[in-house]
Structure formats: structure tokens, C-alpha cells
Amino acid sequence: MTTSATASTGEVTGLTEVEAARRLARTGPNEVAAKKPVRLHSRILAQLRDPLIMVLLGAVALTLAIGDHPDAIVIALVIVVNTTVGVAQEIRADNAVAALSALSAPHARVRRDGSVRDLPAAEIVPGDVLLLGEGDIVAADAELAEASALLLDESMLTGESVPVDKDAGATLSAGTVVVRGRGVATVTATGAASALGRIAALLDDRREPTPLQRRLAALGRVLAAVTLALCVLVFALGLARGLPLGTMAVTAISLAVAAVPESLPAVVTLALALGARRMVARHALVRRLPAVETLGSVSVLATDKTGTLTEGRMVVQHIWTPQVSAELTGVGYEPEGEALVDGRPAREAELAPVRELLTVTALCNDATLRPPDPATPDTRWTALGDPMEAALLTAAAKTGCPAPAELLATRPRIGEAPFDSLRRRMTTLHAAGQDRVLICLKGAPEAVLDTSVLENGPGQLAQARQEAAHLAERGYRVLAVASGVRDDVPDRITAVESKLTLLGLVSLSDPPKPHAAATLATCRAAGITPVLITGDHPATARAVASRVALLGDDSEVDGQVITGADVAAGRVADLTAVRVFARTDPQQKLDIVEAWRGRGAVTAMTGDGVNDGPALHRADIGVAMGERGTEVARQAADLVLTDDELSTVVAAVEEGRRVYDNIRRFLVYGMAGGAAEILVMLIGPLLGLPLPLRAGQILWINLLTHGLTGVAMGAEPAAPGAMRRPPRPPDQHILGGGAWQRMLLLAAVVTTATLGAGLAARALDLPWQSVLFLALLAAQLGVVLGLRARLLTRQNLFLPLAVLASALLAAAALYVPFLRSVLETEPLDWAGIAIAAACAPAGFIAARLVRTAFRRTSPAGRAEASGLP
């Protein structure tokens, strides 16, 4: 025989062990089922199917075919490193669902066979009776049978910043936290059927490629086709001129290798890794390397409220008494601040009614404040208990009230009527000496500002109600405070809640962070649209949005705050026209993110709770809070903010734009060099240069230009004005926005200068092929320096050092006997060196002119130019 708990049960004995075992076998463990893991070889094959990697695999085969084993090893190493990094990042990203299981309470107290047992949460079954106390995490969905001043923090699931009181008969969700009080509840759902399990089902989606991955894939397909066509053309033309079949086959294969910027994956990986490292220094931890670049393309920033735009801690901001109104300064739970009246420090006489009110709130209070730990630097005051009550204690300390311990020592508590959702007020009784009792009461204005509770006159009550309504409209949470003294205490404590004196009103809020408004303004300047999505009350959402200037002129639904109910009912025709959403659930957050993505926007979503997990996972870039965020949010996100500051997202966006710019700059440089090599091989014979370059020489040029020099470009600093230009369109090709035009112009200049040097050397009866070889390499090194966004910067000394090293290795190809034999070059005198070296400034000047022309003629370029000093 088993028993189960109901709201009307007087004594709840719980299940028997036999019945619990039977139910566990039927329903399975109380765990969120993880999706079937992807096998390692499947992950590796998925990485190798990338079009650009397939081109590199072909290049390895070709270099092996011509016997160029060192180059084959280098290209293969790039493939191995790129694949390893990609697989490792995928494995870390797939841990989001597993974190949901870890979030569940590891142990829970249950009543079985009439006795209390402490069991692993995985063994909880439907019908079990949970015993809940302060600090406990609810192990499964349950129905509350008994409650004593029970207050739950549901922000991880609902986004609501204010804890919720629970009475018998209420439902509890897995993963919520008991802030105060005690309770007994009967489990109704476990595992996948619980609230956490339903959110896990929303998370179980495959990730889509990032914008960078899509662009590089498209580039790889185009590059493979163009390279194959040009190499076939060179091969055919060589045969038509009567050159040997073997020579032209090797030459065509070498051109194929030269035309493919095989160091691109290394450049991308290095740029992303350096970006991730820079972000860590700026308090942003990257979980997936491609997220670094994705941030640079973000056009919509969907942010939550609590802890992101706001401090995440309640604070008393305004106190109204019949005698005086005061504003309190300071943030958080630190007892630092002062009371201001009409913008000036309050006089002692003005502080008297304020202190009287706050003394009552400190007595009618169950919270405590914990000071910073002296052994741990940079810690702050923290709250134990209801955040609202902790804020009242902080306000009392700011105005010079005695400490709570001192107050209770002189006025010990002798009775209480705790807050509940029906009465909506809390009352405590305190011994006041000579058999007198002090009554302290606080609660919702509508439950206190009533003639049945207060003896104040009608005019004063009407004034208080008007002030309370005004504060509530501004998004504050308002409490009314009253007190009185009695000579006797009735048996029923609630009987003393009459003929009390109104002391005043207290308004509390979770204030915006000091730099929130400036951060959102920076977002707009960078072409990023901010959107607020919160589970809080619409009035609170509107107030915060107004204070941080989020409701701007760009809102088509002017000044409106749309609720989750409006979204669910389909009353909003275009979700992308709204800037503030309130009372949203996880599915509605997903709908909002999908609406923006459907419009072509690249979305970033910030969050900290379990309820944010699905949207963080679905957005192009998920950003989780590191300090107050849940493990679920951190695992679902691509970026974790270790300081919980929204301004860190802006810094990360700048870093993402830097990374993307460097990748594009390398593509312009690398592909211009590859195109120039092919053009030299095509045009040279028409000008009387039969075989301009030998296969080994092509590969040596390719190794030097696409090796250290190319990789060093990934570490270039951000361009001036990077955050004063709009994000790149998500559908823009990686060589769009004028990049391919610059690439072709530079290829033409390098080709012309190189062929000119070769013809001049032939006219002077110099070793023209060696001059042409050195000229082609010098021109490309000039281009790489000329493409720098910050020409004389000292932030990336690796690039000029890499150029110098490449120049020395080029000289080694002419003067080191072994290399000269392998590459079939000849030493040059000063005349030959001068002719070849003249191509370096030609490439440099061309790159600078191309940058200038681009900035003057393209919108993106003009935006970039606006930031130049």
C-alpha cells in the first residue's frame, strides 16, 4: 500500500521503497536524456567535407605526385590542425544538453515509508514526497502540499527577477531554488517530462554553419572550379607550343597548388585563436572559435534585462513619507550612499521620518546581508534571503539606522504573520518594553492603503495611493509601510493589522548598469539593433528600456512593450518591428530570434538562465553571463562574459570585425598573388618568355608568401573606425564589397611589374628567369605591407619580421648551393637584384592606392575612412 501527498493531506508518509522501485523501472531515472553522441570519425569526416579542405586534400595528392614531399607535409599539417580544432570545438558545444542534467539537484530529501531519506536526484520518481528548505533546488516538477512562508526563485525558468511566493496547491518546476521558507510537495513529473526536460528538447537541434563557414565553403567551390580550369588551360597552351608533356604536367600541378591559398585555414584558425585570446583579456571567453568572426557580423543584439542591462540586484531608490520625499544613492547591497531631498543631502530633521520607516522595514525582515570576505579580493556584499528585503536592510544602513542585530536586541521579535499571496503583506510583533508591543507591517500598497488597516485620514490615504500608482507606472516595485503600538497581543496575530499609522512608501528596482545606455548607443553606431527580451513585468521592462534609451525612433511599434501572450496569440504581425518584449517564455524567445534570422539578420542573444538556453543555442551567436549565469546557459552559448557586462559584447564585436577584416585582407593578398602567378605563366610565353617559372620556383614563392607572411596577417590590429561602420550583409560573399576588384587590380599590377622585370633582365642579358622569380616574390611582399590598415603600428611586429624572413629565404634560393640546385636558379649581380627589388615598392604603392580608391568609392570604405585620424 502506498500513499501520496495532496494539498489537503494532513500527514504525508510518501511512497514505499517497493513502489518507488517499481515506478523508477517504469519511468526511468530523473535525468535529462542526452542525445546520442556523434562518433569521432563522423566528426572528422564532416570537417574534411568542407570544400576548401577538399581542395587542400587534392593539393596534397598533387604535390606528392610531383615528389614535393616537404610542401605536401606542410599542407597536410594545416589540414590536421584545422580538423582537430574544429572537432574539439564541436565536442565542447554539444555539452549543452548534458549540462541540464547537471543542473538538477544532485540530492533531494524525500519521505519514504514514513521516514526522511536523502537520495540522489536521479532516483526521484512521480509520487515521491519532497521536503524543501531554504537553498534547496527543486529536483522535479511537483505539486505543493504544505507551505510555510515559501518563496522560490524561478528566474532560471521564467526570467522573472522577483522571487515568487508559493502556497499549498501551487506547482513547482524542476531547477527552481527555494529562497525562503519550507515546503512539502508531491512529484508530478521527472526527467524528460519535467520543465528542464522540455527545454532540453528545444535545445536538441543541429547547429547551422556560421556566416564565415558558409562564405569559405562558397569560396572553396569557386576556387576549385577556377583553379582546375586555368591549370588545364596552361597545360593545353604549353603542349600547343611544343613543350614536353611531363614539364607541363608538373607546371600545371604547381600552379594548382600556388593558386589555392592553402594557408587560409591556418590564417583563419590563428586569427580566431588570437581573437579568442584577446577577448579573454577583455572578459569574454570564447567556446567556439567561429563565434569570434560571427560576432563581427552581428546586426541584432537580443538582450535580457536582469543582470545584463541591470545590476541584477534590487535597490531602494525612492522613499515617500507624508512629511518628505527622498532619493537614495548607491548600487547593489553595499551600504554606501546617502539620502537626497530635492537633489541635496537630507537634513537631520528630514531624515527622521525616513529612518523611522526604514527601521520598521529592518525589523519586519527575514533577510541578512553578508559583508565581503576579507580573504577574497574584489568580493561584494551579498544577500541571503529575499533580495527585496535585503535591499531594505541596505537602505536602512545608508540612512544611519542601527544594525538589524542591534534593533532585534532592543526589540526582540515575539510573533509574526508571514507574507503570502492572499494577504500580500507581512507583519511582525516586537517587545517594546513595559508590556507594550511594536507592530511592524509592510506589503503591497493595495493591501495596506486601506481604512481597515490604517487610521490615517482619507486625504492622506488618497495622496499615498496616487504616489504608489505613479511609482508603479515608472516600473518600480512599491511597498507600503505602517506601524503601531499595542498594550496587548491577541491570540490571532493578524487581528493587530488595524488602526496602524502609515509611515510611507518604498520603491525598489533593479537599476540599469551605469554604462548600459552608452553601450546600446555604441551598438547603434555600429549598425546593431538592440532588442530587449525579458520575463519581467511590462511596466518594469518599459521603465528599464526608457532609462537605457532602448525605445528609440527606429521602433516601428512606437514605445510599445509587447508581451509573450501577444506573441503566442499572433497579435504581432512583425516581431522584428518590436524593440521590447516582456513576460516571454523559452519558446517565444525562440520565435523572436527566428523572426530576425528569417529577415536575414545575424543575431546575438544574451542570457543567464535555463529559460535562455534554447534561444542561446539557436541564435547565430549565444552570449551567456559567467558570474550569475547557469551552467545550462554557459554550455549553450558560444561566448561567456566573465564580468556580466554588456559592454564586453561590444568589445567582442570589434574583435570579430578585426578577425573578419584580416581574413579578407589575406584573401585579397593571397589570391592576388596566385592570380599573378597564373597570369605570368599565361602571358609570359606570348612575350617571348617560354617558361617563365619552373615548378619548384612556383612552390617556393607560394611557400614564402602564403607561409609565415600570410599567417602573420591574422594578427593585424583592428582598422580605425571599425565600430563606426555597419555590419557586413550576411549574404555578402567573402570577397564582396570590393574585395575581388582589389584582388584583380593588385594581380594586374604584380603581373605587369614581374613581367616587366623579366623583359628588362632579358634585354640586359641577365638570368631573366631568376630575376622574374625574385621580382614576383618581392612584388607580393610589397603588397602585404601596403594592405595594412595601420601602416606604422607596433601592435603586430610579427608581420614585418615575417616579410624580412621571406626576403632572406628568397635570397637563399639564389645563393645557397643546395637550394639553387633544387630550384634551378642562378645568382644575380646588383643590376638583377635592383630590377627585381624595384617591384616591391610597386606592389606597396599599388596596395595603398587601391585602399584609398576603395574607401572613396564604396559605402563601407567611406564608413571605415570616417574613423581615420
- Report, in angstroms and rounded to the nearest whole number, the Rg of the chain calculated over CA atoms: 35
Lowest mean pLDDT among 122-126, 215-219, 726-730: 215-219
Dihedral sign of CA atoms 412, 414, 420, 423 in order:
negative
Identify the H or E element spanning 37.
none
> Cα separation of 91 and 44, whole Å?
11
> Cα separation of 136 and 37, whole Å?
31
In 606-725, which residue ranges form alpha helices assigned H by DSSP?
A: 613-618, 631-636, 646-683, 695-706, 708-712
| pLDDT higher at 701 or 749 | 749
Kindly report the average pLDDT of the chain as a whole number.
Answer: 81
Among 130-139, 338-347, 693-702, 788-797, the range with the most confident prediction by mean pLDDT is 338-347
Contacts of 21 (CB under 8 A, 6+ apart): none
For the chain, give me the number of helices (H) and strands (E)? Answer: 32, 26
Q: Is the pLDDT of residue 695 over 90?
A: no
Work out the burial of residue 352: count CB atoms within 10 Å of its CB; fewer than 13 is exposed, 13-18 middle, 19 or more buried: middle
Work out the burial of residue 466: count CB atoms within 10 Å of its CB; fewer than 13 is exposed, 13-18 middle, 19 or more buried: exposed
Mean pLDDT of the region 488-496: 76
Q: Is the pLDDT of residue 90 over 90?
A: no
Backbone angles phi, psi at 184, to 5 degrees: -125, 130
In 375-501, which residue ranges form alpha helices assigned H by DSSP?
A: 387-398, 404-410, 445-448, 458-473
Cβ neighbours, 10 Å, residue 702: 27
| pLDDT higher at 331 or 62 | 331
Closest CA to 299 of 599, 7, 19, 8: 599
Which pLDDT score is estimated for 10?
34
Which pLDDT score is estimated for 661?
87
Residue 214 CA, distance from chain mean position: 21
Q: What is the pLDDT of residues 154-209, one digit of tens each?
A: 876 766 667 788 888 899 988 787 777 778 999 999 988 887 777 766 654 455 55
> Cα separation of 85 and 191, whole Å?
33
Q: Is the pLDDT of residue 78 over 60?
A: no
Among 199-203, 288-292, 499-503, the range with the most confident prediction by mean pLDDT is 499-503
Q: Is the pLDDT of residue 431 over 50?
A: yes
Which pLDDT score is estimated for 738?
79
Among 412-426, 721-735, 846-860, the range with the most confident prediction by mean pLDDT is 412-426
Closest CA to 506 of 398, 593, 635, 410: 398
Among 18-22, 90-94, 719-723, the range with the most confident prediction by mean pLDDT is 18-22
| Catalytic hit among 50, 68, 136, 304 | 304
Lowest mean pLDDT among 52-66, 394-408, 504-518, 725-739: 52-66
Q: Which domains does the chain have, with CATH numbers?
A: 17-33+100-203 (2.70.150.10), 262-283+656-725+736-865 (1.20.1110.10), 294-310+514-644 (3.40.50.1000), 316-457+468-504 (3.40.1110.10)
Band of pLDDT at residue 829, cut at 50, 70 and 90: very high
| Helix 798-815 / helix 695-706 crossing angle, nearest 10 deg | 160
Q: Strand 141-153 and strand 171-172: pairing?
A: antiparallel
Backbone angles phi, psi at 145, to 5 degrees: -95, -40
Strands annotated E in 265-405: 284-286, 300-303, 315-320, 325-328, 339-341, 344-345, 368-370, 382-384
| pLDDT higher at 271 or 439 | 439
Band of pLDDT at residue 529, cut at 50, 70 and 90: very high
pTM: 0.66
Strands annotated E in 75-127: 107-112, 115-120
Which pLDDT score is estimated for 554?
44
Q: What is the pLDDT of residues 393-409, one digit of tens each?
A: 999 999 999 999 999 99
3-state secondary structure of 486: strand
Lowest mean pLDDT among 677-686, 731-740, 805-814: 731-740
Grid coordinates representing 257 are 597548388
Which pLDDT score is estimated for 438?
94
Q: What is the pLDDT of residues 749-771, one digit of tens each?
A: 999 999 999 999 999 999 999 99
**Residue 137 DSSP code:** B
Grid coordinates representing 186 are 508531491
Q: What is the pLDDT of residues 93-106, one digit of tens each?
A: 444 334 433 433 35
Cβ neighbours, 10 Å, residue 73: 13
Q: Is the pLDDT of residue 236 over 90?
A: no
Q: What is the pLDDT of residues 837-864, one digit of tens each?
A: 999 999 999 999 987 775 554 444 444 4
**Residue 644 designated active-site:** no
Which pLDDT score is estimated for 855?
59
Grid coordinates representing 772 are 622574374
Q: Which CA distances in Å does 246 have to 66, 168, 251, 252, 259? A: 10, 88, 9, 10, 20
Mean pLDDT of the region 828-836: 94
Mean pLDDT of the region 801-823: 89
Among 479-493, 572-586, 714-728, 763-777, the range with the most confident prediction by mean pLDDT is 763-777
* Exposure on the CB side of residue 138, measured as CA atoms within 13 A: 34
> Cα separation of 49 and 220, whole Å?
11
